Amino acid sequence: MALHGDLFSYPLPEFLQWLDSSRKTGTLQLSWEAGERKLFLLSGQVGATASEGLRGRVARLLALAKLASGTKVLAAFDELSRTPDVDAAFDVHGIQARWIRDLGREELFAAMTDLTIAGRGTFHWTEDADRSGEDWVPSDMGIRELLFESLRWVDEQPDVDKALPIDALSVRALAPPSPSQPLMHRIILGLCATPQNLGRLRLSMGVSRSSVTRRVYELLRSKLVEVEGAPQVEADPVAEMLEKGAVLMREGQYDAAGIVCASLLASDPADRRVREFARLVQREHVAALYSDMPPLLIPVVVHDPQGMALLKPEERQIAGLVSGTWDVSTIVLASPARELETLKTLAKLLRMGLLQLTAPR
């Protein structure tokens, strides 16, 4: 199946939502004034992205940060044509694959932000996911995360433009780069040890203006850089909490990320960023639970009266639905609790040894 269209008639966020909900596998090609970009999708995950000169930009950024030589990075990319294992291809050259993924994700966040704001361009979707012949870079993130982050960037772009209105502003680092910082922050802090013109900084890095200004704005908000002529930027506690929640979610700490969401929703339920993040955390948590407990497997109760006595009444009610004939998806449908709560209870029963998962006969 192939689809063609323009992003004015079918806005990019809506198209990404459709691709996510239908769990599509294939290649999405986006074309606009800035060029072309391809996203390689596998069942709701953006496994990789490709655009002209992308591998060279990644090599340049890592060389500027003094994390790896450009020639080694390009040699590792060549290794990808011989092995599908991304980590192995970069490990053999002494390069951390997470740096490559971080820069791939950065490219996608910036490109989706630019396209969403512009509201124009064209798309071509095909179910052919062949990457051969493409200079692809791994990104490994869910469509939902890409959609949430790009919309958050769009929502906060007016604040960024207000703080950094022109490229002639001078940026100076107030702290040295640290391994604990996000990669783009490390790169910018290293380059701005001596004052750098914002426009020259962007050109030397070779990335889009939306990416550089966004990261400089974050550093300015954290008091890690000084921008001559920029207005005073106050810390945005909601944005900071959302960033911490996103880190927790990427680490698989969904319950902790859910606590962050609940706190933010209680303080401002009207904030679109918070609502979108809450939906993202719930969907990712559900997807992670289904990966551990596939929908078609059949839970079977393990007889343990003492273990059952430790359960809460609502957990015992869900345990009572386990008949040995219903699969996970049927139990979720029959449960009076929400999908997430039902799956969390089943996962708890598995951890306690009160359930076993069996294949359907």
- Contact (CB, 8 A) for 16 and 26: no
In a domain, 147, yes or no: no
Q: Is residue 155 part of a domain?
A: no
- Nearest CA to 330 out of 287, 358, 296 is that of 296
Indicate if 37 and 115 belong to the same structural domain.
yes
Assess whether 113 and 10 both reside in one domain: yes
What's the number of domains the chain is made of? Answer: 4
Residue 109: both structure tokens together: 């966040």
85 with 174, same domain?
no
Asked if residue 129 belongs to a domain, the reply is yes
Phi, psi of 197 (to 5 degrees): -65, 135
Whether 150 is in a domain gets the answer no
pLDDT tens digits along 281-300 = 888 899 899 999 999 999 99
What is the three-class DSSP state of 300?
Answer: strand
Q: Give dist(CA 340, CA 325) in Å, integer.
A: 21
pTM of this prediction exceeds 0.85: no
Q: Are residues 96 and 14 in the same domain?
A: yes
Residues 209 and 258 in one domain: no
pLDDT digits (tens, 9 = 90+) for 201-222: 999 898 999 999 999 999 998 8
Instruction: Find, among 284, 285, 238, 236, the residue nearest to 265 by Cα.
Output: 238
Q: What's the domain range around 116?
A: 2-141
In a domain? residue 158 = no
In the block, tokens 């006969």 appear at 361
In this structure, what are the phi and psi dihedrals at residue 318, rounded to the nearest 5 degrees?
A: -70, -40
Identify which of 173, 198, 197 has the alpha carbon closest to the alpha carbon of residue 186: 173
Residue 278 pLDDT > 80: yes
pLDDT of residue 231: 67
Tens-digit pLDDT profile for residues 76-110: 999 887 887 899 999 989 999 999 999 999 999 99
Q: What is the pLDDT of residues 108-150, one digit of tens each?
A: 999 999 999 988 889 999 988 777 777 899 999 989 889 989 9
Q: Could you say which of 228, 256, 284 is where a domain stops?
A: 228
Asked whether the predicted pLDDT for residue 263 surpasses 90, the reply is no
SS3 193: coil
pLDDT score of 80: 85
Residues 127 and 23 in one domain: yes
Between the alpha carbon of residue 260 and those of residues 131, 182, 270, 271, the distances in Å are 38, 20, 16, 14
When pLDDT is cut at 50, 70 and 90, the band that residue 322 belongs to is: very high
